[in-house]
Amino acid sequence: MMSTIVRRAALSAAVVAALTGVAACGSSDSGKDGGEKAAGKTATRVSPIAALRSAEKSTDKADSAKVRSTTSIGKLMSMTANGALTWGDGLKGNLTITYTGGQMAELMKKAGTQSMEARYLPDAYYAHMSDTYAQQAGGGKHWIKYSYDDLAKLGGASGSYMKDQIQNATPNQSVKMLLASGDVKKVGEETVSGVHTTHYSGTLNVAELAGKTSNLSAEQLSALKKQLSQAGVTTDTVDIWINDQDLLVKKTEKADTANGAMTNTSFYTDYGVKVTAEAPPAGDTKDFADMLKAGGTLSGGTGATS
């Protein structure tokens, strides 16, 4: 019984991490430079759209950054993510994900720890679980491998969408989202972490945005809209702060879901930092698809994907 609980806890928590850890990091914080160039650059910008297009290009070219973020979804979970990602040649990087509250934190306690290492590669995500997990449910293996193709199958239309979002999760995605929404306004100029920034805000229709920014078929998009409706997800309010080097400094995101309010705050620092990530040793890795075949069904998986 305990091994089944641990397996389900590990699977649930790790899937949540896969779907939210990177998705919640679609923004940034470059704290190195900043205020000296403030007055001149912001004065030359003719519109929020022009400013965001410049920021989208600059952040994309930056290639890598350190990440820190906090995310909460009602009573389901609250979590932090800290680490570094690179996106120049497919998404790669490492995050330490810690569940700080909610149902997922309780599940992780049963799996032996509330923190886990998340390793991202272009085709798969890996979660390093505790010794308790390895002994009771992992066959002595600590890492779970989640192929993005397997996650897509698990979540149906929403899985296909999340696969697309994870594989293309770069810090400039928040800017792309606002540009695609057609609803963006300049809020003002603010200091964030000691850096001069310009604050922009917009509200996104999630289903419409998915149609504009994903490669889903008409059938998949229709199914996704139905899933989003059932999950209580309609609009997403995004605020971003851009520094004077046209790099994202901060993002906040808010949306309603069937599990309660979702909030995220993300920061990036040290653009251009060296990031390396390799697949864990095969001998210490268990495949997610094999675990499901063995009966490791998800408790809370619906909440994760919604």
DSSP letters for 257-283: ETTEEEEEEEEEE-TT------PPPGG
pLDDT at 295: 59
Distance CA 118, CA 146 (A): 11
Distance CA 132, CA 153 (A): 28
The rounded Cα 283 to chain-centroid distance in angstroms is 28
| For the chain, percent of residues with pLDDT exceeding 90 | 22
Among residues 165, 287, 156, 180, which one has the least CA distance to residue 230? 156
Distance CA 132, CA 109 (A): 10
Distance CA 197, CA 149 (A): 38
Among residues 42, 37, 103, 112, which one has the least CA distance to residue 74? 103
Residue-averaged pLDDT of the chain: 74
Contact 297, 8 (CB under 8 A): yes
Helix or strand run (H / E) with residue 240: strand 235-243
Distances from the Cα of 106 to the Cα of 62, 113, 189, angstroms: 38, 10, 41
Enter the pTM of the model: 0.76
- The answer on pLDDT for 282 being more than 90 is yes
What's the topology of domain 48-289?
Answer: outer membrane lipoprotein receptor (LolB), chain A (2.50.20)
* Residue-wise pLDDT tens digits, 100-115: 999 888 888 877 778 8
* Residue-wise pLDDT tens digits, 224-239: 555 555 555 666 788 8
246: exposed, middle or buried (Cβ count in 10 Å: 0-12, 13-18, 19+): buried
- The answer on pLDDT for 184 being more than 70 is yes
Distance CA 221, CA 227 (A): 10
- The answer on pLDDT for 268 being more than 90 is no
